[in-house]
Structure 1
Amino acid sequence: MKRRTRRGVPATLTAVVLLAACVVVAVVAIQMIAGATPWLSYPSVARTLHDAHWNDPVPAVAGGVSALLGVILLLAAMLPGRLTVLPLEGEVDSGASRRSYRSTLRSAASTVDGVSRARVKLRRRSISAEVTTGRTNTDGLADAVSRAIERRLDQLTPVARPAVRVRVHAARSTS
């Protein structure tokens, strides 16, 4: 089970731009039919486009921008997004949401003696945990948190085992 993020932002932006263009064309057409002065004069737009040459900077820049936006939208549609459901091993096709995965790893890090606060970030191939402690001597705390997270990962059995990195921040200084 590999669910990926939806491409909502590029699709919404494309839809809004196309909707705006359609609204402008419709309003100008209605204004022309009604006999009112249109926002955009068709003869002036046609004259401007007719007078433009391919080697002028305006058509070249407009074409370049259009091509760049097309490539960006194409890449956004084709490249895989971040997993929203992380696959777990087992006989049944199962997975865990990123939120629940992160919270269960954070609770595992928080159970270690001396940890007052834990933050966990999930990346594609790694898990980074930042823990805060009230201790002045933090020797061995990073290893203990890493072992706790590794034990929880053994219970979860993810398909792709991420590397675990732990950083410890002492709330009090040693001086």
Structure 2
Amino acid sequence: MKRRPRRTIPATLTALVLLAACVLVAIVAIQLAIGRTPIISYRSVTGTLHSIHWNDTAPLIAGGTCALLGLLLLLAALLPGRPTVLPLTGDMDAGVTRRSLRHALQNTAATVDGVTRAKLKLGRRTIVARIRTDRTNTAGLTDAVRGALDQRLDQVAPLNRPAMKIQLRATRNAP
């Protein structure tokens, strides 16, 4: 079970651009059908398009922009995103969301004695824990946090266990 994120932003932007173009065409068509002067004159548009040559800068820029946007949309559709649900080990088809795993690990790191604040960043293959302490002697604190996080990961049991990197920052310096 690896649920991938939906590509809502590229799809929404594409839909909005197409909707705006369709609304503009519909408004001009309705205005022409009822005999009113259209917002955009059909003759001026066709006259402008007939006067432009393929090797002018405007068609080259417009074509390059359209090709670039099409390539970006194609890459957004084909490349896999970061999974939103991480699979768990076991016989059942079960998973945990990235957000839930990050919060569980962050709460576990924050409960270690001596930790005043813990922030976790859950990457594709790594967990980066930024730990802050008020202690002047920080010996063994990173090992305690690493042990607590390892124990919590053993309880959750993700299919692919991420590597851990712990960054410790003491707010007070030793005298």
TM value normalised by structure 2: 0.96
Question: What residue in structure 2 maps to residue 16 of structure 1?
Answer: 16
| More divergent stretch after superposition (16-25 vs 30-39) | 30-39
Partner AA of 1:80 in structure 2? P
Distance in 2 (alpha carbons) for counterparts of 1:18 and 1:161? 43
SS of 1:3's partner is coil
Q: Deviations over 1:58-107 (max 9, x none)?
A: 11111100000000001101111111111111011111011210111112
Question: What residue in structure 2 maps to residue 170 of structure 1?
Answer: 170
Compute the displacement of 1:39 (Å). 1.0
| Residue 129 in structure 1 maps to residue 129 in structure 2 | yes
1:21-170 matched pairs, under 5 angstroms: 21-170=21-170
Compute the displacement of 1:54 (Å). 0.8
Distance in 2 (alpha carbons) for counterparts of 1:105 and 1:57? 55
Distance in 2 (alpha carbons) for counterparts of 1:57 and 1:138? 64
| More divergent stretch after superposition (158-167 vs 11-20) | 158-167
The sequence identity of aligned pairs, in percent, is: 59
Q: Deviations over 1:19-61 (max 9, x none)?
A: 0000111111111112222111101101111111111111111
Distance in 2 (alpha carbons) for counterparts of 1:24 and 1:111? 59
Residue segments in structure 2 that go unaligned for 5+ positions in a row: none
Compute the displacement of 1:171 (Å). 2.4
Partner AA of 1:134 in structure 2? D
Q: Deviations over 1:136-174 (max 9, x none)?
A: 121221121112111111222211111001111222233
| More divergent stretch after superposition (27-36 vs 66-75) | 27-36
Q: Deviations over 1:101-133 (max 9, x none)?
A: 011111221221101111111000000111111
Residue segments in structure 1 that go unaligned for 5+ positions in a row: none
TM value normalised by structure 1: 0.96
Partner AA of 1:101 in structure 2? L
SS of 1:146's partner is helix
Distance in 2 (alpha carbons) for counterparts of 1:62 and 1:15? 19
SS of 2:84's partner is strand
SS of 2:174's partner is coil
